[in-house]
């Protein structure tokens, strides 16, 4: 810093003057903020924490979050902890969070991580879990955990109100939908019971065309042929894997499946399929957008 070039020095004063009020405001907030500093490995916990403005200080695989969850964006001060399955302990210890939040997915790390800070596990998805109440519960729990009860309640209210609004603005009798994400040109994850999309569809009053079995995260991995004969409009959650769009344009089966009036698939921008309330809200918005554009 000391040897910064003179060119940059010229900017110092204007920049400082401009930044000063901002800095003061931030400091006054931060100084008063006694909320716990939280680190987490789980992207779903992270998106909820960010949405309720919790003091998130560390998150695993920032680049993965950016490409698979995307929004809400991670605040600049959050440090990368490395891989989700093997967060960097030295980094974590240096950040010294007050609390570490996990999901059952990484529960086996509890022993390791609890030497750094107390660990709490937040369970959202599981067999037989009623997803929407679970989303509400976990959001409230995280609100309490992060000392952001008010924001958590607001997030729940905001999301539920918005979903109601969207339900009103949907076409009168919305067709059933089959929500899929492509794995390769012949296999999709199809989302059903126990999953985020299913819970959102229920609240919007849209039928889910996939009534078959799903795993504990609310999807089934199936070949495309499993989609034939199902009643409903196909909704594809992007991204398409490499080369899949081109392969689909040549696939006799896919062409036939999506051929005809009101059968071409709706495409949604990427949403985190195993997310929390923020992802639920985004999915609903995108669905509305896709129906409107149709």
Partner 1 sequence: MRTEVPARSVAAPLGVTAGLFAVLVGLAVWQLQQQTGGFAWSSWWPDLGGASVSAADLALALGWWPRLITALIAGAGLALAGVLMQQVLRNPLASPTTLGVAGGANLALMAATLFAPALMGWGAEWVALAGGGLAMGLVFLLSWRRGLAPLVVVLAGLVVNLYLGALAMALLLFNQETLQGLLIWGAGSLAQDGWHDAAFLLPRLAIALVIAWLLLRPLRLLELDDASGRALGVNLAFLRLAALGLAVFLTAVTVSVVGLIGFIGLAAPNIARLLGAHRLASRVVWSMLIGALLLAVTDLSLQHLAAWLPTMIPTGAMTAALGAPLLLWLIPRLRLSSRTPPETMTSGWPRAERPARRLLVMALLMPLVVAVSLLSGHLADGWSWVSGAWTVWEWRLPRLLAAAGAGLLLAVAGTLLQRLSGNPMASPEVLGISGGVSIFLLLGIVWMPAASTSMLAALGVGGALAALALLIVLNRRSGFLPERLLLTGVAIMALAEAVRALVLAGSDPRGQQIVAWLSGSTYYVGLEQALLIVALAGVALVVALLLSRWLEIFPLGAAVSRAVGVRVTGGRLAVLVLAAVMTAAATLVIGPLSFIGLLAPHMARLLGLSRARDHLLGAALIGMGLMVLADWIGRQILFPHEIPAGLVASLIGGTYFLWALRRF
- Could you write out the DSSP letters of every residue in 110-132? HHHHTTTS-EEE-----TT--HH
Residues 257-276 that bind partner 1 (CB under 8 A): 257, 274
**To which residue do tokens 């698979």 refer?**
68
- Could you tell me the two tokens for 102? 């996990």
Coil, strand or helix: which one is 285? helix
Residues touching partner 1: how many (CB under 8 A)?
Answer: 63
Rounded least distance, CB 223 to partner 1, Å? 3
Short-list 96, 103, 262, CA closest to 177 = 262
- Of 85, 144, 171, 205, which one interacts with partner 1 (CB under 8 A)? 85
- d(Cα 165, Cα 199) in Å, to the nearest integer? 16
Q: Is 77 in the site for partner 1 (CB under 8 A)?
A: no
Q: Is 64 in the site for partner 1 (CB under 8 A)?
A: yes
- Of 254, 275, 283, 291, which one interacts with partner 1 (CB under 8 A)? 254
- Of 35, 70, 95, 176, which one interacts with partner 1 (CB under 8 A)? 95
Give whole-number Cα distances, 142 to 28, 117, 146, 149, 277, in Å.
Answer: 24, 17, 6, 8, 12
Q: Is 131 in the site for partner 1 (CB under 8 A)?
A: no
Q: Which stretch binds partner 1 (CB under 8 A): 60-68, 143-151, 153-161, 283-291?
A: 60-68
Instruction: Give the gyration radius of the chain's Cα atoms.
Output: 22
Q: Is 68 in the site for partner 1 (CB under 8 A)?
A: yes
- d(Cα 160, Cα 157) in Å, to the nearest integer? 5
| Closest CB to partner 1 among residues 170, 176 | 176
Residues 203-232 that bind partner 1 (CB under 8 A): 212-217, 219-225, 228-230
| Closest CB to partner 1 among residues 29, 261 | 261
Short-list 244, 238, 236, CA closest to 269 = 238
| Closest CB to partner 1 among residues 28, 67 | 67
Contact (CB, 8 A) for 278 and 71: yes
- d(Cα 79, Cα 59) in Å, to the nearest integer? 6
Q: Which stretch binds partner 1 (CB under 8 A): 23-31, 86-94, 154-162, 200-208?
A: 86-94
Binding site for partner 1 (CB under 8 A): 64, 67-68, 79-91, 93-95, 104-109, 111-112, 182-187, 189, 212-217, 219-225, 228-230, 241-244, 246, 250-254, 256-257, 274
């Amino acid at each position: 810093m000391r040897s910064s070039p003179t060119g940059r020095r010229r900017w110092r004063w204007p920049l400082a003057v401009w930044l000063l009020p901002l800095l003061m405001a931030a400091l006054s907030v931060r100084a008063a903020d006694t909320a716990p500093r939280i680190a987490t490995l789980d992207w779903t916990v992270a998106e909820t924490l960010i949405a309720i403005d919790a003091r998130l200080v560390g998150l695993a695989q920032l680049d993965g979050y950016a490409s698979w969850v995307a929004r809400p964006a991670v605040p600049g001060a959050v440090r990368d902890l490395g891989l989700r399955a093997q967060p960097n302990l030295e980094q974590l210890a240096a950040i010294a969070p007050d609390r570490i939040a996990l999901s059952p997915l990484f529960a086996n790390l509890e022993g390791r991580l609890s030497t750094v800070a107390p660990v709490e596990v937040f369970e959202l998805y599981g067999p037989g879990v009623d997803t929407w109440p679970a989303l509400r519960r976990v959001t409230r729990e995280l609100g309490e955990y992060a000392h952001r009860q008010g924001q958590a309640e607001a997030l729940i209210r905001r999301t539920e109100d918005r979903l109601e609004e969207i339900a009103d603005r949907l076409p009168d009798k919305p067709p059933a939908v089959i929500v899929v994400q492509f794995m390769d040109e012949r296999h999709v994850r199809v989302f059903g019971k126990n999953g985020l999309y299913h819970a959102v569809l229920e609240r919007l009053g849209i039928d889910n065309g996939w009534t078959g079995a799903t795993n504990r995260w609310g999807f089934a991995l199936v070949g495309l042929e499993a989609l034939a004969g199902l009643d409903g409009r196909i909704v594809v959650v992007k991204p398409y894997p490499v080369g899949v769009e081109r392969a689909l344009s040549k696939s006799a089966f896919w062409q036939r499946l999506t051929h005809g009036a009101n059968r071409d698939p709706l495409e949604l921008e990427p949403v985190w399929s195993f997310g929390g309330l923020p992802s639920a809200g985004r999915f609903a918005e995108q669905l509305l957008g896709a129906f409107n554009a149709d």
